[in-house]
Amino acid sequence: MQPDQSPSLYDRLGGVYNIAVVVDDLIDRVMADDRLNKNPAVDEAHHRVTPPGFKYFVTEMVCWAAGGPQQYSGRSMGDSHRHLHITEDEWAAFMDDLHQSLTKFHVPAAEGRELVTIVESTKDAIVAASPRSGPPPA
Ligand code: HEM
């Protein structure tokens, strides 16, 4: 970091050790969330992928998106979610899980909002890919 630059979100969150703690809690919530697992495709995938591997990819992605030195090495959000047919209600449940994890670890409001903005930026690739998410905008 240059002296005249403000610290990245990654640095303000405390780097990978802190980000991984929040992702660990979030993925535990998401994988056990009945609101998500009532979707059979999500339920199948949640029982197929291993929690450590899933946490690894999401941690890597959040670190990268927050300005850390990591390079995200997983699939695109469209490629990894298209087959899951995720609905608006399921998206809302995921965001509720995220807010619970941010609250649990007392992530400061400003940094929490920036993280939520990053996650929201993936919504079109994750939800709009679903044939069940409604008609395309006019
Ligand atoms: C309702 C919301 C979501 C649900 C139900 C969901 C569920 C899943 C499931 C089941 C998988 C494994 C897919 C498979 O291998 O067949 C997956 C992969 C993944 N998801 Fe999500 N997800 C959601 C939102 C998000 C968001 C918001 C992010 C990131 C900001 C994210 C990041 C990832 C990553 C990084 C992978 C791994 C990609 C790979 O395997 O290469 N997901 N998700």
What CATH code is carried by the domain that includes residue 33?
A: 1.10.490.10
In a domain, 67, yes or no: yes
In a domain, 61, yes or no: yes
**Contact between residue 90 and residue 36 where contact means Cβ atoms under 8 Å apart:** yes
ipTM: 0.95
> How many domains does the chain fold into?
1
Distance CA 9, CA 34 (A): 31
Q: What is the pLDDT of residue 5?
A: 79
Can you give the residue range of the structural domain that contains 51? 9-126
In a domain, 116, yes or no: yes
User: Which residues lie closer than 8 Å to 133 by C-beta, 6 or more apart?
Assistant: 86, 87, 88, 127
In a domain, 138, yes or no: no
Q: Which residues of the chain have pLDDT under 50?
A: 129-130, 132-133
User: What pTM does this model have?
Assistant: 0.91
Pocket of ligand 1 contains residue 42 by CB under 6 Å: yes
Chain-centre distance for alpha carbon 101: 11
Pocket of ligand 1 contains residue 95 by CB under 6 Å: no
Distance 82 CA to ligand 1 centre (A): 10
The answer to the question of whether 85 is labelled as a binding residue is no
In a domain, 132, yes or no: no
In a domain, 118, yes or no: yes
Distance 10 CA to ligand 1 centre (A): 21
